[in-house]
Amino acid sequence: MTRIERRNLFLGLAFISPWIVGLLVFTLYPVGASLFFSFCDYDVLQKPVWVGALNYRDMFTDEVFWKSLYNTLYFAAFALPLGLVASILTAVLLNRAVAGRSVLRTIYFLPSLVPVVAGAVLWWWILNGRFGLLNHALRIVGIDGPQWLADENWTKPSLVLMSLWGIGNSVVIYLAALQDVPRSLYESADIDGASAWTKLRHITLPLISPVIYFNLIMGIIGSLQVFAQPYVMLGGGGPNRSALFYAVYLFQNAFQYRQMGYACAMAWILFLIILFLTWLATHTSRKHIYYAGQ
Amino acid sequence: MRRYIERGLVHLLLLAGASLFLLPLIWMLSTALKPIEQTMSIPPTWIPYQYFVTRGGESVPVRLGESIDVPSCVVRRKDTGARLLVPRSALSNGALRQSTPQGVETLVPIEVLKDIAASPDTVWVRVMPENLPSSEWDVAEVGNIVRRVAPRWENFGRAIAAMKYFPAYLMNTLLLCVLTVVGAVFSSALAAYGFSRINWPGRNKVFILALATMMIPFPVLMVPMYCLFRWLGWIGTLRPLWVGSFFAGAFNVFLLRQFFMTLPKDLSEAARIDGCGEFRIFWQITLPLCRPALMVVGLFQFMFTWNDFLGPLIYLTDQKDFTLALGLQFFQSQHGGTEWHYLMAAGLLVALPIIVLFFFTQRSFVEGISMTGVKG
């Protein structure tokens, strides 16, 4: 190692030292500790007691655990694809509209600026069975709307609906990606007489596919950890625990039942699920992602 | 021709969608400006209103009670002093006929205050002047009552009062925002500089490690961090919520590194040849050039801290230490379900600063969001 190299190594490490400390204290230590706790009986007050895989075995027979996992996957299975299609569609339309594009973009983006708790409180009111905006609107078309948050069949659809209100963030991302698609491609497609659908299918979607993939992965990670909305709107999980989400049940175990070991085990299972789904998404989409310059 | 129809259709769809997106927020504002009884009307009222009665040349705000369609009297019971509204047929010789549940008729001495000649042409309505005890009701002719648009801006003040510690919530939130923004911008700029402007062996491998840590979900870290802060005696203080931001979060480092990479190499080379120290190059040459990117990181951090709910929920124990997000949820759990107007006013107060901030920094915002997605 030359003198310059040694100097650079020293300087580089000095500059990233805040990150190194953060990595050790706020990432590596917690990861290790949580893995250890997941094999322990631990209530914070007393020292953790090693119990082997007991927490993991308990999970298999814990009906509430399965219910929370089901609820979360149900939510993700609807919120993710619906959000993906809605935001791409909105972005494609916005990209074509010339008049008032920036005003429209701001309107679509506005809801995703509303702080999560404020949004949850607002939707709690909108979804009110008697005086909520949604049922007022349904009454106009002659439908007697359900008791959204008080009916176990409707709690999860309620949360999916609410999540669609917040797609503005991805709309902005897609819009930026769409503006990078070269105009010339559409122009030559026009000469060939391609239809709007063909252009979308064979030019637009392939060219923005890396961004779709990125949003999909972020969506998987985010939607499996949804916490604030169900916690604020449905507290302990709503009627018959129909909206008890994974992260909420995990929080309850950790900070209400003081079963920290069990909560850690749940967190690791969540991590594995996220890794598996990310791998699955990567594996199945690999052929469909187009990277410019490759 | 087809082009115009198509374009019209696109605009129509977008406008319809935009109104759906905007409607909840308008509904929120509308609710926040109503008196409570107007939040619970079917069909809904969108524009808050108020009835007024002209009395002695003055317009007095009132609420409407039941309408009176038979000849009636406003009377005062001589024994209890209560004001009553009774049909004239129930009066005889300065007394009110009342029957007990057993069917025994008694005569209550009364004093007639007002005689109301209800007829098909003039309907009277019982009115409750606002801000007066409900026993002070009066009657008014329908023709004398006017309805005017009247947003209740005072609901915001009342919501703040009802939240009890609102000023403390605001101060805590602002303090946390300032600390975490300073911490995040400074520490992640340092780290990003180390990951991009200095060439050291193993740099890219370590950076991939940094990216990989972004995959770890928060619940995995949550319990040990709680234990760590508990061991430090920091539970119930704001410290767990800001100390971490001084240690360069991977996401911010990633954002800034992307930007630092675009700066030309010659810039720092020239300074190095002039004998400039590395920290001075970072501080005096690189940072001033990166203002837009630092702005994005600062904005995102501000948003994150302002919105964070789980962190304060875990670490804060005393109501006086709550942040706005946690305070709003606490208010909802205490007063929610009836006082919709105050709840919406409180929600707006929490949302508004972010929306205002957005309008002032729109460009950085949109650039930042596009940056996270497109170059990711």
Task: Please give, rounded to a whole number of angstroms, the shortest distance from the CA of B18 to a CA of chain A.
Answer: 6
Among B248, B278, B313, the residue with its CB nearest the CB of A19 is B248
Encoding tokens for residue B93? 């010789």
Residue A237 lies in a domain: yes
**Cα(A251)–Cα(A270) distance, rounded to whole angstroms?**
13
Residue A102 tokens read as 């920036």
For B299, the closest chain A residue by CA position comes to A113
8 Å CB contact of A121 and B190: no
B230 touches chain A (CB under 8 A): yes
Q: Burial-class residue B274 by CB neighbours within 10 Å (0-12, 13-18, 19+).
A: exposed
Chain A residues in contact with B7 by the CB 8 A cut-off are 96-97
User: Do residues A169 and A225 share a domain?
Assistant: yes
pLDDT, residue B120, reads 65
Per residue in A158-189, pLDDT (tens digit) is 999 999 999 998 998 898 889 888 888 888 88
* B residues 302-361 lying closer than 8 A (beta carbon) to A: 303, 306-307, 309-310, 313-314, 324-326, 328-329, 332-333, 336, 340, 343-344, 346-348, 350-351, 354-355, 358
C-alpha angle with apex B19: B16 to B25, nearest 5 degrees? 160
Q: Which of A12, A36, A54 is the last residue of a domain?
A: A54
The span from the CA of B156 to the CA of B276, in Å, is 55
Same domain, A161 and A15: no
What CATH number does the domain containing A211 carry?
A: 1.10.3720.10
**Which candidate from A108, A131, A267 shows the least CB-CB separation from B40?**
A131
DSSP B273-329: HTT--HHHIIIIIIHHHTHHHHHHHHHHHHHHHHH--HHHHHH--SGGG--HHHHHH
A1, A6, A11, A19: best mutation site toward chain B, by most B Cβ within 10 Å?
A19
Q: What is the chain B residue with the closest CA to A109?
A: B21
- Which chain B residues contact residue A122 at CB under 8 A? 24-25, 27-28, 344, 347
Segment B49-72 shows an average pLDDT of: 80
Contact B200 A5 (CB under 8 A): yes
In a domain, A294, yes or no: no
Structural domain containing residue A203: 62-288
pLDDT over 50 (residue A269): yes
Amino acid present at B304: F
For chain A, say whether B9 makes contact (Cβ under 8 Å).
no
Q: Are residues A153 and A47 in the same domain?
A: no
CA distances from A248 to A175, A208, A228, B65 (A): 33, 34, 8, 46
- Asked which of A222-231, B23-32, B116-125 is least confident by mean pLDDT, the reply is B116-125
Q: Do residue B373 and residue A113 have CB atoms under 8 angstroms apart?
A: no
Residue where one domain finishes, among candidates A32, A54, A76: A54
Shortest Cα distance, chain A CAs vs residue B77, angstroms: 39
Task: Name residue A131's amino acid.
Answer: F
Contact (CB<8Å) B25/A97: no
Section B119-145 average pLDDT: 74
Mean pLDDT computed over A48-73: 94
A87 and A24 together in one domain: no
Q: Is residue A37 part of a domain?
A: yes
Chain A positions touching B194 (Cβ under 8 A) are: 11-16, 19
Tell me the C-alpha distance between A76 and A187, whole Å.
38
Q: Can you tell me whether residue B337 is helix, strand or coil?
A: coil
At B121 the pLDDT is: 66
* Closest residue in A to B200 (Cα–Cα): A9
Which residues from A are below 8 Å from B315, CB to CB?
none
The reply to whether A157 and A231 lie within a common domain is yes
The mean pLDDT value for A41-54 works out to 89
Tell me which residue in A29, A130, A278 faces B224 most closely, judged by beta carbons. A29
pLDDT of residue B376: 41
Same domain for A33 and A132? Answer: no
Q: What is the DSSP letter of B47?
A: S
Contact A19 B187 (CB under 8 A): yes
Q: Is residue A160 part of a domain?
A: yes
Kindly report, residue by residue over B261-293, the tens digit of the pLDDT: 888 887 778 888 888 888 888 888 889 888 888
If one compares B35 and B336, the residue with the highest pLDDT of the two is: B35
Q: Chain B: give the shortest CA distance to residue A172, in Å.
A: 7
Shared domain check, A184 and A260: yes
Q: Give the three-state DSSP class for B308.
A: coil
Report the alpha-carbon distance of residue A95 to residue B277 in Å, rounded.
47
Helix, strand, coil tally for chain B in percent (to 5): 60, 15, 25
Chain A's closest residue to B245, CA to CA, is: A22
Tens of pLDDT, residue by residue over B180-238, are: 999 999 999 999 999 998 888 889 999 999 999 988 999 999 999 999 999 999 999 99
Identify residue B6 by its one-letter amino acid code: E
Strands B95-99 and B105-116: antiparallel
Which residue in this structure is represented by tokens 């001589």? B78
Residue A76: inside a domain = yes
At residue B62 the predicted structure's pLDDT band, cuts being 50, 70 and 90, is confident
Query: Is residue A106 situated within a structural domain?
Result: yes
CA of A144 to nearest chain B CA: how many angstroms apart? 13
Cα–Cα distance, B351 to A114 (Å, whole number): 5
pLDDT band at A254 (very low <50, low <70, confident <90, very high): very high
The continuous run of DSSP H or E covering B225 comes out as helix B218-231
CA-nearest of B58, B120, B247, B198 to A23 is B247
Max mean pLDDT among A79-88, B64-73, B92-101 falls in: A79-88
| Among the partner residues A30, A125, A176, nearest to B343 by beta-carbon distance | A125
For residue A239, say if its preceding peptide bond is cis, omega within 30 degrees of 0: no
pLDDT digits (tens, 9 = 90+) for A138-148: 999 988 889 99
Q: Å from A215 to nearest chain B CA?
A: 7
In a domain, A293, yes or no: no
Q: How many CB pairs under 8 A join A and B?
A: 286
**What local confidence, expressed as pLDDT, does residue B58 receive?**
78
Class of residue A63 by CB neighbours under 10 A (exposed 0-12, middle 13-18, buried 19+): exposed
Is the confidence at residue B37, as pLDDT, over 90? no
Query: Which element (helix H / strand E) includes B85?
Result: strand B83-87
User: Min CA distance, B67 vs chain A (Å)?
Assistant: 25
- Do A145 and A46 have their domain in common? no
Confidence of residue B375 (pLDDT cuts 50, 70, 90): very low
Q: Which of A11, A101, A117 has the highest number of chain B CBs within 10 A, making it the mutation to test binding with B?
A: A117
DSSP category for residue B45: P
Closest CA to A81 of A153, A160, A166: A160
**Angstroms from A163 CA to nearest CA on chain B:** 12
Q: Are residues A38 and A9 in the same domain?
A: yes
Residue A293 is predicted with a pLDDT of 52
Test A15 with B193 for CB contact under 8 angstroms.
Answer: yes
Contacts of A108 in chain B (CB under 8 A): 17-18, 21
Query: Count of domains in chain A?
Result: 2
Alpha-carbon gap, residue B176 to B147, rounded angstroms: 46
Task: Examine the fold and report which residue of A30, A54, A78 is the final residue of a domain before the chain moves on.
Answer: A54
Whether the pLDDT of residue A157 is over 90: the answer is yes
Q: Are strands B58-68 and B124-129 parallel, antiparallel or unpaired?
A: antiparallel
Quickly count: other Cβ atoms within 10 Å of residue A289's Cβ: 15
Is A113 in the same domain as A249? Answer: yes
The SS3 assignment for A124 reads helix
A292: left (phi over 0), alpha (psi -120 to 50) or beta: beta
Query: Do residues A235 and A159 share a domain?
Result: yes
Contact criterion met (CB below 8 Å) for A210 and A293: no
Length of chain B, please?
A: 376
Q: Are strands A49-50 and A40-41 parallel, antiparallel or unpaired?
A: antiparallel
> What's the Cα-to-Cα distance from A95 to each of A173, A291, B362, rounded to whole Å?
12, 21, 18
Q: What are phi and psi of B116, to 5 degrees?
A: -110, 115
In degrees rounded to 5, what are phi and psi of residue B369? -65, -40
Lookup: tokens for A260: 């920290």
State the pLDDT at residue B205. 93
Rounded to a whole number of angstroms, the distance from the CA of B64 to the nearest CA of chain A is 20
- Residue A39 and residue A109 share a domain: no
Q: What CA–CA distance (Å, rounded) separates B336 from A228? A: 16
The order of strands in the sheet holding B145-149 is B138-141, B124-129, B58-68, B49-55, B145-149
Q: How much is the average pLDDT of B23-30?
A: 96
Task: Assess whether pLDDT exceeds 50 at residue B107.
Answer: yes
Give the separation between CA A110 and CA A95, rounded to whole angstroms. 18
How far apart CA B21 and CA A167 sit, in angstroms, is 10
% of chain A with per-residue pLDDT over 70: 99
pLDDT digits 0-9 by tens, A63-114: 999 999 999 999 999 999 999 999 999 999 998 867 788 899 999 999 999 9
Residues of B within 8 A of A76 (CB-CB) are: none
Q: Is A115 within the bounds of a domain?
A: yes
Cα A12 from chain centre:
34
What are the φ and ψ backbone dihedral angles of B224, each rounded to 5 degrees?
-60, -35
